[in-house]
């Protein structure tokens, strides 16, 4: 072998292991930088405090895909379905993202008009120009007062036609400009999914979300026209909720299978509009995900009345799931248990991560 060729061969033999070593060290260093240790005593203290909460049904804390601690009370269990109330909204948003990815619907920048021409003949121009994005960000502009008066929701859900009821409401702000929590407007998203896919939202979800992710969903309430309630009434098990949280942390993949685009995930959990502090711990709103900040980093959460939560903290790679009993308890009790559960999560459980 010529001398120059021999030198080059020896150079490759000597340099390659060094490069592999350096890459390995770099990867380990990045892993260490992104790893957050857990103070077990603080976490156990938080769970001990949770044990004193009346109506708490489950609490799960997971990091890096592994459950650190969990507890179930009463008739709850990891695989027991629970009506998660407005956590449903986050799932409906996810389903729209899937429909968009597959070209079944247009994008969130499309107006709602094409989907309601037959359902609501003569839809006024100001409402026809509402964008799907406005619905996703709770800025549809409708006159509505659900945050401070639960009767607003009750009047809508008991009306003869839920779609017509909300579309009949006047607009009091320019769509896309003012946050105003509105379950009825969000229900329109489920109607859009059904009309675009020519299949009920629950069946669409079973094909593209529930079955691929092995979610055990059998019940989802419908309105009086047969549309699945886009705003509430979906029943999920605690482990179903955990899987959904993991899906968002994993950028839209489940067990290496792409469920929804990473772009949709990113857009869903980033702040698009200020809530005006209308909900404690949720200063911003994404696509049906509330957003907030803690000393441990930014978080996003799916949020149901009476204390139903999927909270994710991307920089910690943490998912926290909590459910509470909400039936027949009254608004003041529901609000109180919502607040104490969120306080526990943000100020005590997250405090256990270093």
Report the C-alpha gap between 335 and 157 in whole angstroms. 20
The model's pLDDT over 69-108, given as tens digits with 9 standing for 90+, comes to 999 999 999 999 999 999 999 999 999 999 999 999 999 9
The model's pLDDT over 121-142, given as tens digits with 9 standing for 90+, comes to 999 999 999 999 999 999 999 9
Find out whether 307 and 323 touch, Cβ atoms under 8 Å.
yes
SS in 3 state form for 93-122? Answer: HHHHHHHHHCCCCCCCCCECHHHHCCCCCC
At residue 248 the predicted structure's pLDDT band, cuts being 50, 70 and 90, is very high
Report the C-alpha gap between 353 and 35 in whole angstroms. 10
Closest to 157 (Cα-Cα) out of 216, 214, 231: 231
Q: What are the helix (H) ranges across the chain? A: 3-33, 40-50, 87-101, 113-116, 125-128, 132-136, 151-157, 162-167, 183-197, 201-205, 238-249, 262-268, 331-344
Handedness of CA 220, 80, 251, 210 (dihedral sign): negative
Find out whether 230 and 188 touch, Cβ atoms under 8 Å.
yes
Cα 3 vs. chain centroid, distance in angstroms? 64
For the segment 303-331, the average pLDDT, to the nearest whole number, is 97
Sketch the domain layout of the chain as residue ranges: 40-352
The model's pLDDT over 22-37, given as tens digits with 9 standing for 90+, comes to 333 333 333 333 456 8
The model's pLDDT over 273-315, given as tens digits with 9 standing for 90+, comes to 999 988 889 999 999 999 999 999 999 999 999 999 999 999 9
Report the C-alpha gap between 134 and 121 in whole angstroms. 21
- CATH number (3.30.70.360, 3.40.50.880, 3.40.710.10, 3.40.1110.10) of 40-352 reads 3.40.710.10
């Amino acid at each position: 072998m010529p001398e120059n060729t021999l030198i080059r061969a020896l150079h490759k033999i000597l340099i390659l292991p060094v490069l592999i070593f350096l890459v390995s060290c770099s990867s380990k260093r990045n892993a260490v930088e992104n790893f957050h240790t857990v103070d077990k005593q603080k976490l156990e203290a938080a769970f001990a405090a949770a044990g004193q909460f009346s109506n708490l049904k489950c609490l799960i804390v997971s990091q890096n895909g592994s459950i650190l601690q969990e507890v179930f009370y009463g008739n709850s269990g990891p695989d027991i379905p629970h009506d998660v109330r407005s956590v449903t909204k986050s799932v409906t948003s996810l389903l729209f993202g899937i429909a968009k990815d597959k070209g079944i619907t247009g994008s969130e920048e499309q107006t709602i008009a094409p989907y309601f021409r037959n359902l609501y003949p003569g839809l006024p121009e100001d409402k026809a120009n509402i964008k799907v994005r406005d619905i996703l960000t709770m800025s549809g502009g409708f006159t509505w007062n659900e945050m401070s008066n639960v009767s607003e929701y009750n009047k809508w859900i008991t009306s003869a036609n839920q779609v017509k009821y909300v579309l009949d409401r006047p607009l009091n702000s320019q769509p896309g400009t003012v946050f105003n929590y509105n379950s009825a407007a969000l229900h329109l998203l489920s109607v859009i999914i059904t009309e675009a896919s020519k299949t009920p939202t629950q069946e669409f979800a079973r094909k593209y979300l529930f079955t691929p992710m092995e979610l055990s969903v059998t019940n989802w309430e419908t309105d009086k026209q047969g549309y699945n309630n886009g705003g509430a009434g979906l029943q999920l098990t605690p482990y179903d909720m955990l899987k959904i949280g993991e899906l968002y942390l994993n950028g839209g993949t489940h067990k290496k299978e792409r469920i929804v685009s990473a772009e949709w995930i990113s857009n869903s959990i980033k702040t698009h509009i200020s809530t005006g502090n209308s909900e404690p711990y949720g200063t911003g709103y994404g696509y049906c995900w509330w957003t907030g900040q803690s000393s441990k980093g930014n978080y996003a959460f799916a949020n149901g009345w009476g204390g139903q939560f999927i909270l994710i903290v991307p920089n910690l790679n943490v998912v926290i799931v909590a459910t509470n009993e909400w039936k027949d308890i009254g608004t003041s009790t529901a609000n109180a248990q919502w607040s104490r559960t969120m306080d526990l999560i943000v100020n005590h459980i997250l405090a256990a991560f270093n």
